[in-house]
Structure 1
Amino acid sequence: MSSYADRLAALRDELARRRLDGFVVPLTDEHMSEYVGAYAQRLAWLTGFEGSAGTAVVLPQEAAIFTDGRYTLQVREQVSADQWSYQSVPETSVSAWLKEHAPKGGRIGYDPWLHTKGWVDAATKALAARGAELVAVETNPIDSVWPDQPLPSDARLVVQPDALTGQSAAAKRADVAEWLDAQGADAVVLSALDSIAWVFNVRGTDVSRTPVALAYALVNSDATADLFVDPEKVDEAVAQHLGNSVRIQPRDAFAGALEGLSGKKVSVDPDRAVAAIFERLKGAGATVTEARDPTILPKAIKNAVEIAGTTVAHVRDGAAVTRFLHWIDTVAAKGGQDELTAAAQLEAFRAETGALKDLSFDTISGAGPNGAVVHYRVSEKTVLPIEQNSLYLVDSGGQYADGTTDITRTIAIGEPTAEMKDRFTRVLKGHIALARAIFPQGTRGTQLDTLARQYLWEVGLDYAHGTGHGVGSYLSVHEGPQRIATPNGQPGGDEPLRAGMILSNEPGYYKTGAYGIRIENLVLVQDRAVEGAEKKLLGFHTITLAPIDRRLVDVAMLSPAERAWLDAYHARVLREIGPLVPAEVKAWLEQATAPL
């Protein structure tokens, strides 16, 4: 279809044909994934929005798109105000908006394979207050009007060897079976793709930037399992790896298998499983218990093998990023480069390691004002040159078999202004405060978030995103349950931090229309020994290694302890990265990491 207006009109025609007065379009798939395969990019196809979180609601006479603070600028650039109104989350929600805008007595459609049970309950209640009803559709109406919708990937699974996982798939299933026994349950539904990849020690390429395969699983109390994945995706090596205790069934047999669990007690995660799963189990006469997916916490707490692997991955990745930072300083700073060429060059340096499997997300390559777009995605339409006397922000990561990386650096191109240095140094002070934090076991990320924001707050500044997210082990770059963020109702911030968890440390500052600043390293939660301590303590060990731009630091604003931290970090970067880069890069790195 020639335009997004045409697509919206076609969807409205289809809704009218189905006697629906509206439809809700989330940016997710049947597994509640953050990043989804091309076939599930319904929100992007309908609206043009390319962010990683959002929802649209289409009514006969109006339409709204809901995004959070990360996408305030991006949604306005990509989605037409002529057809859509912009709604900010968490200031409002889809349910609250429908309560005010749905036609009285109307029928609002939703795809039960794309929403959680909790969302369905909230939306049903909100619509009831307006005399309207929420109606589950048998097939998604967007699929009926999307003429060239891609097919789901048919790529094969690959084995993630025990030498990299540190625990066999059989041992992981046994742990799940033990958990089921404690719950008094017969089986657990696993529908989150990274949970399935982790528990079966397999990876895939069905979702861009995340090494997972489209599948569902049922793990039983006897440690056997049913893996619902298209059989042609499983070769002999994977079948042998899975063994006789794992039955392979077609992915489209999953719904029917749920209906066969009559009389069984089945555990389902209400935050990660879609409403359709609950409906099928209830209809079959199964007893459903709601509990968190039992793989979530063990997946987040990395074992010694996974920690060793990600440490190696971060050194490798740090050398590639350092080569890129040298290139920015010596090539891009002379002119003739832009956001696209820079992103391509960074990917090339990672690829030259010979170990890169994929990027861990689309590189955020933001020059000047584009750096102020928090989750900016460069394109031919938006690309800007890298110009003198500006800031360049690059947020990127790699997927390696031994670890997942995520790093942001802000680079001065030419001479930074006093304001840029002030803002950068405040962000750096917050970054250091979090990196140096020592805290009692049981501390939540919400309790630590203030450490990173305090120096911005004291002059009336802030940033509209979380300070830290969990990261997987050759899995999702955004992995729960832990996160560091303000207590704004989003899940995860209330999860106690535990030794072995990996999180990002990424405070920032964004001046709309001018520049963006973010400093991001990944950190590992470790036990901390403090003489005289009366309780168990934890702290962070930084695992990301690449120089932080000293030219943007106002040294007078740093305390002696902060200066010591940055000097020690840079000494470590030189020590570990220096031997891995060419001589001219090492010479540059020596200058870039010199003591303040």
Structure 2
Amino acid sequence: MVQDRLTKLRYCMKEKGIDFYMIPTSDFHGSEYVDDYFKVREYFSGFTGSNGTLVVGHDMAGLWTDGRYFIQAENELAGSGIELFRMMEEGVPDIPDFLKENIKNGQTLGFDGRTVSCKEGKELERKLKGMNIRISYEEDVAGNLWQERPFLPAHEVIVLPEEISGQSMEEKLLTVREKMKTSGAAYLMLSKLDDLMWLMNIRGNDVACNPVALSYGFLTPEELYLFIQPQEITAKFTEYASKNHIVIEDYENTERFLGGYDYEGKVLLDEGNINYTLYKILSDKAECVFESNPTEALKAVKNKIELSRMEEIYLKDSAAVIKFICWLKKNAGKEKITELTAAEYLDGLRREIPGFLDLSFPTISAYKENAAMMHYEALPESAKEIKAEGMLLVDSGGQYMGGTTDVTRTVVLGEISPEIKKHFTKVTIGMLQLTQARFLYGCTGRNLDILARQPLWDIGIDYKCGTGHGIGYILNVHEGPQSIRWRFAKGAAEAIIEEGMVISNEPGVYIEGSHGIRTENVIVAKKGEKNADGQFMCFDTLTFVPIDRDAIDTEFMQPIDVERLNSYHAEVYKRMKKYLTEEEEAWLKEATRPMEI
């Protein structure tokens, strides 16, 4: 089927004079998760991961994806004729370098400019400069061949009251406009959905697991133009818009409006978060200032109300995970449980929590060797049955009217090898080391990553992903600009860890064909001691779920490691017992009892 679809695409490319066609994993806003309407790359490749770009030539096809998906992509691309390019691996070219080496003078590169970022488009322009390459970006060539393509999603938006948002839209607009003035810009074009939702104190339901509405925002000195589908507008939102100088425009008219607007100053654009098509329109009409959206850094620092609600919801969410682990431990091998039904059981527990809106991402439930695939998805036809042996990795989270959660635990269900125990223990040590970090203000995640990764590097093991990502507030489960990762990437943004930033802490081990381990807590940065050496920072923990003692081998731990684990477990029991039944509390007390070295 994939080969037939590629044949049709190549025929269409030939008709339109296109030599290479690029299909990224993106909607028009660069969202991490996309609605079915935008899954064009999946349609033409068969690869279902959330990150990857397909490049199709007349005699080749290649898919680029990152280390989270190497195993999955290899399996899903088998027999398709599509070559897997493992991003960031030695000897593997990135897409601009590949195209520079393979496209010929005078040929044409095509892509839908709405699904490629300005930054990516400009890099392609730079790499191919001097080769007389035409870039065709005005048409969705591949998407137009998808005959049974789903409709564009559209759901009514909701307005968050200030007791939930913690800050009015008026206050946010004042701060953002001051940032714009500092940058010398009169206008700001917002395409990043979570940034726009945060600024306007609204939420939607157009992207799976992310409470956002497909929309664009164009901020002028006096007005905010919101481009949104008419069917998403409610009477309540219309009233809210009139009070906040929001001018509502049709989503389909965005390009026409921007192309005809009379600009009287510079436009601020975030290269990584504005699509290539809009960049071309705006740069043709006005001078552009290229900086990060001021909304991103503002959104990342949670206010007191947001943090208070997140603390509360993380306790309730942690209780759901504890109930799940207790149930799993007692029933694995006694009744039929599969990866899929285990995930459904946990999802059901979350749905019972007041304020539940949705999952924050599809629950990853991976048994034994399947856990080596970081973003494994259990399917009805292939889900493994869980028995009283090995381990189950469960990465899950929820969206609530009070916060966004993310937690991973690897649960022991029976006999495991000494090697797996060693790996599990090293992961635990690293996670707790990062939790207890004390660092000077001004550090970024690259300064801190080694605390989580060092125990694994000590034994010659690495995990092909970052250690931590920002967490949104009733928004995207993956949020920038903060992150914790070791690798230097030229041109990639780095953010100082600020008080109020919420971030994940999730080292792991992934051994293909054998096992996968991940332990993830969510932490929040706060100020510690300030002295003559500067402002020290530290982390508070939001997640309170036990770490499986059955996989801990204290032979690999120092006294400080055992002390940290025992201290965390004591806090888990103290905070969580009130949320549990008598039977569950008894189980938790046993699961958190102190360990001795």
Which category describes the TM-score, using the shorter chain as reference length? over 0.9
Match among 72, 83, 88 for residue 85 of structure 1: 83
The Cα shift of 1:457 comes to 1.0
The answer to whether residue 439 in structure 2 is matched with residue 442 in structure 1 is no
Q: Which residue of 2 aligns with 1:28?
A: 26
Secondary structure of 2:525's partner? strand
Contact 1:449 1:484 in 2 (8 A): yes
CA–CA separation in structure 2 for the residues paired with 1:183 and 1:431 = 39
CA–CA separation in structure 2 for the residues paired with 1:83 and 1:556 = 48
Q: Which residue of 1 aligns with 2:54?
A: 56
Residue 490 to residue 146, structure 1, CA distance change in 2 (3 Å): farther
Q: Which residue of 2 aligns with 1:228?
A: 227
Give TM-score scaled by structure 1 length. Answer: 0.96
Match among 72, 75, 79 for residue 73 of structure 2: 75
CA–CA separation in structure 1 for the residues paired with 2:190 and 2:575 = 40
Contact 1:393 1:408 in 2 (8 A): yes
Contact 1:406 1:477 in 2 (8 A): yes
CA–CA separation in structure 1 for the residues paired with 2:493 and 2:463 = 17
CA–CA separation in structure 2 for the residues paired with 1:164 and 1:125 = 45
Contact 1:263 1:287 in 2 (8 A): no
Secondary structure of 1:271's partner? helix
CA–CA separation in structure 1 for the residues paired with 2:385 and 2:435 = 33
Q: Which residue of 2 aligns with 1:595?
A: 594
The Cα shift of 1:425 comes to 0.4
Q: Which residue of 2 aligns with 1:155?
A: 155
Contact 1:49 1:79 in 2 (8 A): yes
Contact 1:190 1:293 in 2 (8 A): yes
- State the aligned residue count: 590
CA–CA separation in structure 1 for the residues paired with 2:496 and 2:572 = 30
Secondary structure of 1:594's partner? coil
Residue 510 to residue 152, structure 1, CA distance change in 2 (3 Å): same
Residue 477 to residue 466, structure 1, CA distance change in 2 (3 Å): same
Secondary structure of 1:196's partner? helix
Cα deviation code 1:324-365 (max 9, x no counterpart)? 001110112435211001010010111111322111111111
The Cα shift of 1:103 comes to 4.3
Question: For structure 1, which runs of at least 5 residues remain unmatched after alignment?
Answer: none
Q: Which residue of 1 aligns with 2:122?
A: 121
Cα deviation code 1:196-230 (max 9, x no counterpart)? 100000000000000000000011223x2111111
Secondary structure of 1:325's partner? helix
Residue 575 to residue 159, structure 1, CA distance change in 2 (3 Å): same
Secondary structure of 1:218's partner? strand
Cα deviation code 1:393-450 (max 9, x no counterpart)? 0101101111000000001111221111111001111111101110000001011111
1:448-527 alignment runs, 5 A limit: 448-489=448-489, 494-527=494-527
Give the RMSD, CA atoms, in angstroms: 1.6
Paired residue type of 1:11? L
Residue 543 to residue 72, structure 1, CA distance change in 2 (3 Å): same
CA–CA separation in structure 2 for the residues paired with 1:233 and 1:121 = 33
Secondary structure of 1:72's partner? helix
CA–CA separation in structure 1 for the residues paired with 2:297 and 2:49 = 27
Q: Which residue of 2 aligns with 1:209?
A: 209
The answer to whether residue 271 in structure 2 is matched with residue 270 in structure 1 is yes
CA–CA separation in structure 2 for the residues paired with 1:500 and 1:493 = 19
Paired residue type of 1:5? Q
The answer to whether residue 200 in structure 2 is matched with residue 200 in structure 1 is yes
The Cα shift of 1:282 comes to 2.5
1:259-408 alignment runs, 5 A limit: 259=259, 260-284=261-285, 286-408=286-408
Residue 516 to residue 397, structure 1, CA distance change in 2 (3 Å): same
The Cα shift of 1:378 comes to 1.4
Question: For structure 2, which runs of at least 5 residues remain unmatched after alignment?
Answer: none
CA–CA separation in structure 1 for the residues paired with 2:467 and 2:79 = 30
The Cα shift of 1:510 comes to 1.0
Paired residue type of 2:425? T
The answer to whether residue 583 in structure 2 is matched with residue 580 in structure 1 is no
CA–CA separation in structure 2 for the residues paired with 1:315 and 1:526 = 19
CA–CA separation in structure 2 for the residues paired with 1:179 and 1:422 = 49
Q: Which residue of 1 aligns with 2:537?
A: 538
Give TM-score scaled by structure 2 length. Answer: 0.96
Contact 2:500 2:524 in 1 (8 A): yes
Secondary structure of 1:125's partner? helix
Cα deviation code 1:469-494 (max 9, x no counterpart)? 00100100000001000124177672
Contact 2:526 2:537 in 1 (8 A): yes
CA–CA separation in structure 2 for the residues paired with 1:143 and 1:86 = 22
CA–CA separation in structure 2 for the residues paired with 1:382 and 1:127 = 44
Cα deviation code 1:271-299 (max 9, x no counterpart)? 11111112111222x12111110101110
Per mean C-alpha deviation after superposition, the further-off stretch among 328-337 and 154-163 is 328-337
Secondary structure of 1:70's partner? helix
Percentage of matched positions with identical amino acids: 34
Residue 391 to residue 34, structure 1, CA distance change in 2 (3 Å): same
Q: Which residue of 2 aligns with 1:564?
A: 563
Residue 583 to residue 134, structure 1, CA distance change in 2 (3 Å): farther
Paired residue type of 1:272? N
CA–CA separation in structure 1 for the residues paired with 2:69 and 2:532 = 43
CA–CA separation in structure 2 for the residues paired with 1:491 and 1:317 = 37
1:166-181 alignment runs, 5 A limit: 166-181=166-181
